[in-house]
Amino acid sequence: MLFGADGAVDGADPGTIFVDMSTISPDVTRVIAARLEEGGFPFLDAPVSGGDIGAQKGTLTIMVGGKPETFERVEPVFEAMGARITLVGENGAGQVTKACNQVLCAVNMLAVCEALSLASRSGIDLHKMHRVVTGGAAASWALENLGGAIIENNYDPGFMVRLIQKDIDICLEAGKALDLTLPGTALAQQLLRSNRAYGEGDLGTQAMFKAFERLGNFRLADD
C-alpha cells in the first residue's frame, strides 16, 4: 500500500523517490504522481518489457515517465536490470509506451495465429513455412519465438494469457478515453477471453492459437 496510515509514503523520508515498475493505467499513474509530488516525493513510472528471461539476464527494456532530474538519479539502478532504458516523457508516458508495446504484442500474436491457421489447414509443412517467413518482411519476435512454440505444441508461459489480457484492458480503456478505435486490440482481447473461458489463463500468450483451433474446428496436432 502506498498511501494511508500504514502506507509506504507514511514511513518515507522526505524526498524519497518512488518508482512504479508495474503496468497500470496512465491516468491512475498521473494521479499518483501528482499526489506524491504534493508531498515532496519524486515519482517515476517505469514499466518493463522482456519477460522472465530479460529480468534474469538484466536485459529488460524499461520505459520511464517522470522528470529528467529524477530519472538521472535512478538510472544507475535501472542499468542493473535493463539494456534499453528510455525516459519517454512526463509521468504517465512510461505507461502509455507500455500500452503501445502490449498493443503490438497482442496484434502480432493475432497475426501469427492467423498465418499458422492458414498454413495448417492448407496442409503445408509448418516448420518449412516458419523458416521461410521468419526470413522476410513478415519476420517478428512473436513469429520467431511464439510461432515456433505453437508449432512444437508448447504453451508454457513466458507471459501468461491472464496478464496480457489485464494489460489489454488498460490499452482499451486508454483508447476509450481518447475516442480512439483499436479494433485489432479489441479482437485480440476477445480471443484471449475465450482462452480464459476454457481455463487457459495461466498458459503463455501463444495459447491464443487454441481459440483459432476452436473457431476453425481443427487441431494442429491432427494435421
At residue 163's C-alpha, the angle toward residues 107 and 104, to 5°, is 20
CATH code linked to domain 96-222: 1.10.1040.10
Is residue 98 among the annotated active site residues?
A: yes
Tens of pLDDT, residue by residue over 58-79, are 899 999 999 999 999 999 999 9
pTM listed for this prediction: 0.91
Distance CA(48)–CA(56), nearest Å, equals 13
* 43, containing H or E segment: strand 43-45
130-168 as b/e: b if 16+ CB within 10 A: beebeeeeeebebbeebbbbbbeeebebebbbbebbebb
Output the tens digit of pLDDT for each of the chain's 223 residues: 688 777 778 777 889 999 999 999 999 999 999 999 999 999 999 999 987 778 888 899 999 999 999 999 999 999 999 999 999 999 999 999 999 999 999 999 999 999 999 999 999 999 999 999 999 999 999 999 999 999 999 999 989 999 999 999 999 999 999 999 999 999 999 999 999 999 999 999 999 999 999 999 999 865 5
CA-CA distances (angstroms) from residue 213 to 88, 142, 187? 39, 18, 16
Helices (H), ranges, the chain:
26-38, 51-57, 68-79, 93-122, 126-133, 141, 148-151, 161-177, 183-197, 208-216
Phi, psi of 152 (to 5 degrees): -90, 10
| CB-CB neighbours of 44 under 10 Å | 25
**Predicted local confidence at residue 37, as pLDDT:** 92
Residue 49 β-bridge partners: 61
Residue extent(s) of CATH 3.40.50.720 domains in the chain: 18-90
155 close to 81: Cβ distance less than 8 angstroms = no
At position 51, the amino acid (one-letter code) is G
Residue extent(s) of CATH 1.10.1040.10 domains in the chain: 96-222
Q: Which of 98, 128, 176, 210 is catalytic?
A: 98
The class level of CATH for 18-90 reads alpha beta
Q: Is 115 exposed, middle or buried (0-12, 13-18, 19+ CB in 10 A)?
A: middle
